[in-house]
A = this chain, B = another copy of it.
């Protein structure tokens, strides 16, 4: 029998036992949003690619002349041979247009003292003004984005600017989701008023999808130990991660744990001292990572969010796999059990956080979930979360970061 451990310990047992993949594949940038880079992105070209004008204005070689003859107009995209320009001459030049080699300064139209068809009169201006120099932003050869970064729209912009259309990305894990509970009906099945639907398979599938992970919903596991052993054995060879829901509490119906054990599971823990979400197990079966989540929809969802998603990201080669958080003031005090850790749901709005329903909801409920937008994880030790205390709040749609500090100590 394994010990019941704290939420923080459970988290680190999981995350420390994950090996990032070294499997990668090529993909067109168009389809790469949300994938993790399996290579550094190295600049193929300078940015800017040539000296160019930062303004619509006039370009000239800085001298003592203040009256300059306009000899030419250069538009963005114009290609031209080098040409001579005298100290009392200038060119009309548009934003982004290439600045001729012997021009070192640009003055915006609106700063000229006088602008005529053929000449302009300029005030004192600093040499080099309003010219973006070749390579001043990005130098050919420098590392722009590091291996492990998630491809965001901002990185897509960068890749396009570098003429990069195909990238190496890590292969994400194959994930199987299994429900237990032969009493459950699938949502599309006829059910009488007292029958219960299989929620967890679909809520986890959607949660993982929203975090960038595909998963296969395998339905409801067969109801005997022998059949589930066989079922798990078959999945083990095909999937990198198996997530089960239910059948893991310490009641009589707890057979999924046994079925895993018979498949050489090495569990990290069996039970977490947290409210809600105690009946949770994680471990490895050879190369397959296993999560046995609670059957209660709320705790099942929260533990998948808090424990499994970071594991899936690390497994996928992501450089950032810890939830980022924001600080927010606790709007209203609520009681907690000092001997347990807590995963509390609530609403983050205008910089304040308010727990759902005074934290008096049950783990079988769903309303706390769809009426909240964020999670607060509290370490055991105090029996109240005071009004006004600053909490670390994890929004459901938060980013990930490199340092893990999202646990709240209330001391």
Taking a contact as CB atoms under 8 Å apart, the answer to whether B152 and A210 are in contact is yes
A194 adjacent to chain B (CB < 8 Å): yes
Q: Please tell me how many copies of the chain the complex holds.
A: 2
Q: Give the CA-CA distance A399 to B399 in the complex, in Å.
A: 12
Partner pick for A297 among B157, B206, B349, CB 8 A cutoff: B157
A42 in the interface (beta carbon within 8 A) = no
Of A1-9, A225-233, A257-265, A390-398, the stretch lying at the interface with chain B is: A390-398
- In this assembly, does A253 line the interface, its C-beta being within 8 Å of a C-beta of chain B? yes
CB distance from A267 to the nearest CB of B (A): 21
| Chain B hits for A76, CB < 8 A | 181, 183, 251, 253, 295
Contact B33–A206 (Cβ < 8 Å): yes
Docked pose: A287 CA to B366 CA in angstroms: 41
A156 to B204, CA, bound (A): 9
Contact for A367 among B33, B49, B137, B193, CB less than 8 A: B137
**Contact of B49 with A158 in the complex, beta carbons under 8 Å:** no
Q: How far is the CA of A120 from the CA of B301 in the complex (A)?
A: 35
Which residues of chain A (160-195) have a CB below 8 Å from chain B? 160-165, 181-185, 187-189, 191, 193-195
Contact of A366 among B54, B157, B366 (CB under 8 A): B157
B207 and A153 within 8 A (CB): yes
Interface string of A375-386 (1 = CB under 8 A from B): 000000000000
Q: Which residues of A does B touch, CB under 8 Å?
A: 29-30, 33, 45-50, 52, 54, 56, 73, 75-78, 94-96, 98, 132, 137-138, 144-145, 152-165, 181-185, 187-189, 191, 193-199, 201-203, 205-207, 209-210, 249-253, 295-297, 301, 324, 326-328, 348-351, 362, 364-367, 369-370, 372-373, 395-399, 401, 405
